[in-house]
């Protein structure tokens, strides 16, 4: 570990990670332009992401496409996990599991991610996906592989 790496490790804090998450989301064409999602809340270990559901997000049956529920859950759990990473490490989502409990309708839908475990090689987070009245639309679970950040 060279001196630059060492400095980064010693500086690493939760606040840095939360800032990184906010800045990354703001730069993400996928999240901001394509998906049209909003970053509602970032605290260490918890991130909420919302989507204003419009016609283009719906199935032919008029309900929110399950893939978008999965995408919101993937985003909320992945960003929540990112806030907990130690400096010098990064992570990949290894698996995502979503159980659909109630159809989503036009209006606001929010995925609330929270980290349950952040180990040195493995992590686990969950999300509730709720509609604007706080009704539970889906429950999701994600696992992560933690690894050293590639040198840049």
Tell me how far CA of residue 143 lies from CA of 45, 53, 62, 129, in angstroms: 14, 27, 31, 17
Distance of CA 80 to the CA centre of its chain: 5
CB of 127 to a second copy, least distance (A): 12
- For a second copy, the closer of residues 66 and 132 by Cβ is 66
CB of 40 to a second copy, least distance (A): 17
Q: Which residues bind a second copy (CB under 8 A)?
A: 24, 27-30, 33-35, 55-60, 65-68, 70-72, 74-75, 78, 92-101, 103, 116-117, 121-122, 124, 126, 136, 139, 141, 143, 145-147
- For a second copy, the closer of residues 10 and 133 by Cβ is 133
């Amino acid at each position: 570990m060279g001196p630059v790496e060492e400095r980064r490790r010693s500086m690493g804090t939760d606040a840095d990670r939360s800032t990184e998450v906010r800045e990354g989301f703001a730069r993400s064409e996928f999240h901001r332009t394509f998906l049209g999602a909003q970053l509602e809340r970032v605290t260490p270990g918890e991130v909420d992401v919302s989507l204003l559901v419009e016609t283009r997000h719906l199935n032919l049956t008029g309900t929110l496409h399950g893939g978008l529920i999965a995408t919101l859950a993937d985003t909320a759990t992945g960003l929540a996990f990112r806030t907990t990473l130690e400096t010098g490490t990064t992570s990949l989502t290894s698996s995502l599991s979503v159980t659909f409990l109630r159809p989503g309708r036009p209006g606001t839908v929010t995925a609330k991610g929270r980290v349950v475990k952040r180990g040195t090689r493995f992590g686990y987070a969950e999300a509730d996906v709720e509609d604007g009245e706080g009704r539970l639309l889906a429950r999701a679970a994600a696992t992560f592989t933690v690894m050293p950040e590639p040198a840049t």
